Amino acid sequence: MQPIDPMEPASPVSVPAPSLRRVDDGPRAPVPVRVRTDALKAGLRTHTCLQCGLNPVSEPVARSFQYVPPWVYIGLLLNVLVLMILYFAGRVVVKGSLSLCPDCDKADRRGRTLRGISLLGLLLFPLVGALLGAPFDGGAVAFGAAAGLVAAIAGMVAAARSTRSDVITARLIDKKAAVTTLVASPELERVLAAEAPEALAR
């Protein structure tokens, strides 16, 4: 066995993304954190990962945050086209950057991709359902489209729940108060309070 040199620095240990840690280590339920929108746009720069609160960070990663008002989803009661019009008319987008370690960055990107794919289901599933119902008589087309829509919504909910510990999202973007409420690991507020307290909105 090779002797250990006490003077040799320890190798950095990569910490799994929040959703991959054991239950006793996390993940903890995401919490809302109010940050100044101008600070978010300039970049929340810290030396420690804002998501896991453990790994060091090299370069901040670019992220877009969007808030969609609840009234937009009234479009679901009408049709997908109306929903898309309301969605793009009502959403508020803020582009910024976050200090994330490679593991949490990868988990966040994977979660965002999964959520994006689930959104496509709002267009595809009702169409597929209607096509499957076309050869039959009666209200099979409408039933197939409705069943497809329900399946798409279920897929969106499942995607959101399965990635909630990985993805940092915006619960509210208040333009008037210049405050963005992020939903993230409790570590985000702790790390910001220790390393960049000016970014927190009071």
151 has pLDDT over 90? no
Over residues 107-149, the pLDDT tens digits come to 999 999 998 888 788 778 877 887 888 778 777 778 787 888 7
Its domain, for residue 103, covers 30-199
Report pLDDT for 22.
Answer: 38
For range 156-160, the mean pLDDT: 86
- What is the overall mean pLDDT for the chain? 82
For range 148-172, the mean pLDDT: 87
Residue 80 lies in a domain: yes
Domains held by the chain: number: 1
Residue 58 lies in a domain: yes
Residue 3 lies in a domain: no
Give Cα separations from 100 to 25, 62, 108, 137, 174 (angstroms): 18, 10, 9, 54, 24
Over residues 10-64, the pLDDT tens digits come to 334 444 455 444 334 555 689 999 999 999 999 999 999 999 998 999 788 999 9
Burial of 100 per CB tally in 10 Å (0-12, 13-18, 19+)? buried
Tokens in use for 186? 């409790």
- How much is the pTM? 0.70
Tokens in use for 44? 């929340």
For range 172-200, the mean pLDDT: 94
Report pLDDT for 77.
Answer: 66
Tokens in use for 28? 């903890």
Over residues 98-108, the pLDDT tens digits come to 999 999 999 99
For range 155-165, the mean pLDDT: 87
Residue 18 lies in a domain: no
For range 170-198, the mean pLDDT: 94
Report pLDDT for 101.
Answer: 92
Report pLDDT for 196.
Answer: 94
CA angle 22, 23, 26 (to 5 degrees): 85
Residue 19 lies in a domain: no
Residue 195 lies in a domain: yes
For range 73-91, the mean pLDDT: 76
Is there a contact between 198 and 184 (Cβ–Cβ < 8 Å)?
A: no
Residue 161 lies in a domain: yes
Confidence of residue 170 (pLDDT cuts 50, 70, 90): very high
Tokens in use for 52? 């896991």
Confidence of residue 5 (pLDDT cuts 50, 70, 90): very low
How many C-alpha atoms does 77 have within 13 Å on its Cβ side? Answer: 5
